[in-house]
């Protein structure tokens, strides 16, 4: 199904290799004010730049991916965005994939402009993948889907997020009896059909959700009790990556991954921010923390390897 430009390796293939060689860990770059303060940095552009540069220099040659949260850079205006641009370029140059956490979502030419901003190789914010929101209808993402496929990039689409407010939309049931989240996952499975070793269009699925991932009462109870681990929870077999926030500060652990995701755990890219970043500003401490997390995560998902 891939129609990427000749010579452009799809994001899914690049991510699969990165997770297999570097470990399944995505480190969030979330320079919120309290973390800057904990590092002894000012809540200003200078502190922002020192923070981002330290994280990238310490980890870009060893983690599979970074997930910079665009909002924490945007809050400083154009100077903050300039810091983000440099961080993205330096991370990619050192071999890490960059998943821009911007959660963009709109229609028509506006969605196409967001794709230009983050998925065009000539853009200073060009990233390997982008988080997007499907809640104007999955079809509204078509400009970003097409651009990502053409440029060898990926998307992570919000599907089953860990925030409690998300349930009122994501768990809502359509007239056909399928939940909104299940519909999003089904669309992603179609976009990834036939791709090997891994499709480029992933879902954001919270690692804290547990039994909520079951497609029926019976499967939910099985997942909640650690039973029936031979198959992924209903809908998660999308042949694409699953970006999983929630490990660490939000309460999930590496050991939860097989229970929550079943055999799909092998395609999970856990995202950890505070669990690694709290060990800064020491570069060595950041590296040690990332190595520990990657080792624990790799051990957890190895019990349920995805079809590769």
Residue 145 has phi, psi (to 5 degrees) of -60, -45
Domain that holds residue 207: 11-301
State which H helix or E strand residue 81 sits in. Answer: helix 77-93
Is 68 among the domain residues?
yes
Is 85 among the domain residues?
yes
Q: pLDDT digit string (tens) for 155-165?
A: 999 999 988 89
Is 2 among the domain residues?
no
Is 1 among the domain residues?
no
Is 306 among the domain residues?
no
Is 5 among the domain residues?
no
The catalytic site residues sit at 103
Is 307 among the domain residues?
no
Q: pLDDT digit string (tens) for 39-96?
A: 999 999 999 999 999 999 999 999 999 999 999 999 999 999 999 999 999 999 999 9
**What is the pLDDT, as a whole number, of residue 208?**
85
Q: pLDDT digit string (tens) for 247-267?
A: 877 778 999 899 889 889 999
Q: pLDDT digit string (tens) for 113-158?
A: 999 999 999 999 999 999 999 999 999 999 999 999 999 999 999 9
Q: What is the pTM of this model?
A: 0.91
Is 6 among the domain residues?
no
Burial class (CB in 10 A: 0-12, 13-18, 19+), 223: buried
Spatial separation of the C-alpha atoms in residues 227 and 206, rounded to whole Å: 20
Number of folded domains that form the chain: 1
Separation in Å, CA 275 to CA 20, 25, 55, 169, 197: 21, 12, 13, 29, 30
The CATH number assigned to the domain holding 138 equals: 3.20.20.70
């Amino acid at each position: 199904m891939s129609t990427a430009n000749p010579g452009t390796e799809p994001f899914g293939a690049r991510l699969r290799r990165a997770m297999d060689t570097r470990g399944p860990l995505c480190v969030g770059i979330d320079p919120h004010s309290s973390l800057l303060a904990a590092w002894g940095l000012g809540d200003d552009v200078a502190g922002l730049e020192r923070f981002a540069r330290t994280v990238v220099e310490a980890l870009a040659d060893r983690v599979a991916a970074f997930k910079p949260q665009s909002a924490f850079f945007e809050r400083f205006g154009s100077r903050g965005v300039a810091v983000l641009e440099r961080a993205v370029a330096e991370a990619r140059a050192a071999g890490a994939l960059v998943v821009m956490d911007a959660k963009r979502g709109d229609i028509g030419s506006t969605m196409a402009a967001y794709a230009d901003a983050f998925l065009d190789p000539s853009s200073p914010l060009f990233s390997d993948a982008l988080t997007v929101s499907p809640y104007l209808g999955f079809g509204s993402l078509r400009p970003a889907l097409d651009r990502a496929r053409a440029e060898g990039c990926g998307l992570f689409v919000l599907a089953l997020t860990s925030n409690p407010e998300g349930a009122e939309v994501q768990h809502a049931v359509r007239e056909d009896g399928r939940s909104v989240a299940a519909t999003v996952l089904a669309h992603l499975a179609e976009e990834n059909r036939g791709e090997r070793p891994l499709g480029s269009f992933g879902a954001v699925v919270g690692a804290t959700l547990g039994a909520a991932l079951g497609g029926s009462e019976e499967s939910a109870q099985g997942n909640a009790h650690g039973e029936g681990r031979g198959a992924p929870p209903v809908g998660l077999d999308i042949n694409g990556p699953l970006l999983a926030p929630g490990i660490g500060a939000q309460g999930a652990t590496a050991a939860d991954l097989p229970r929550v995701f079943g055999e799909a755990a092998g395609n999970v890219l856990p995202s950890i921010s505070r669990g690694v970043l709290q060990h800064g500003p020491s570069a060595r401490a950041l590296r040690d923390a990332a190595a520990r997390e990657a080792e624990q995560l790799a051990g957890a998902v190895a019990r349920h390897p995805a079809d590769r």
